[in-house]
A and B are shown apart, each in its own frame.
Chain A
Amino acid sequence: DVQLVESGGGLVQSGMSLTLSCAASGFAFEDHVMHWVRQPPGKGLEWVSRIDWRSDTLVYADSVRGRFTISRDNAKRTLYLQMNSLRTEDTAFYYCASQANGDYSQNPIDSWGQGTLVTVSS
């Protein structure tokens, strides 16, 4: 079975940094595009970032570009999200999710982790 397990969330002060990890198992991690999607408590989903299998293509939402960095280690089957200059509006559950390689606009984001909560205090 596909498993995506996020970790690294917690309480942090505004302006500080935090790194999230997502451990993958049960599928060919190196054959998948990986995403981070976030959801403020009680609110809707917001896509954050994606990285292709070779780490050649990194794309970010406008709201995090320049502050967040996505990366992956295929040997460790792990996805990361380095979050710098955190703001209170970054408070959310952060989900990692997978998508089969190929045309990103056609393939579904079809597996999701359980999420990790990041709380940014002022």
Chain B
Amino acid sequence: SYDLTQPPSLSVSPGQTAIITCSGDKLGDKYAFWYQQKPGQSPVLVIYQDTKRPSGIPERFSASNSGNTATLTISGTQAMDEADYYCQAWHRGIAFFGTGTRVTVV
């Protein structure tokens, strides 16, 4: 097994920066992926290979991964960014998801 721990929740004001952490043993030695999931919808990939944004994902989404922690940063957070965010990494051939962070824009 491989545990990826995220803070359960995060509140951010519109226009401010949201920083979501994902902690796992030697996570920096693996690629980290990030998914956004809005209520009633399927997950959407927002970051892959630690730092890359798929086409269509706004530039305000950025990320890093080093040591035991991967970080997703949402700069200039908008109301539409309110969602659950999950990190994901591979360990011994199996995909593991983080515990998830609910971002509330208030």
A-side interface mostly: loop
Q: Is the CB of A106 within 8 A of B54?
A: no
Is B99 part of the contact surface with A, judged by Cβ < 8 Å? yes
Q: CB-defined interface of A84-107 with B at 8 Å, one 1/0 digit per residue?
A: 000000000001000000001111
Residues 30-82 of A contacting B (Cβ, < 8 Å): 35, 37, 44-47, 50, 59, 61-62
Number of interface residues of B (CB under 8 A): 24
Chain A nearest Cβ from B94, distance in angstroms? 6
Number of interface residues of A (CB under 8 A): 22
Residues of B within 8 A of A105 (CB): 30-31, 90
Is B106 part of the contact surface with A, judged by Cβ < 8 Å? no
Which of the listed residues A45, A109, A110 has the most CB atoms from chain B within 10 Å of its own CB?
A: A45
Q: Is the CB of A110 within 8 A of B45?
A: yes
Residues of B within 8 A of A50 (CB): 95
| B residues neighboring A (CB under 8 Å) | 1, 30-31, 33, 35, 37, 42-45, 48-49, 54, 86, 88, 90, 93-100
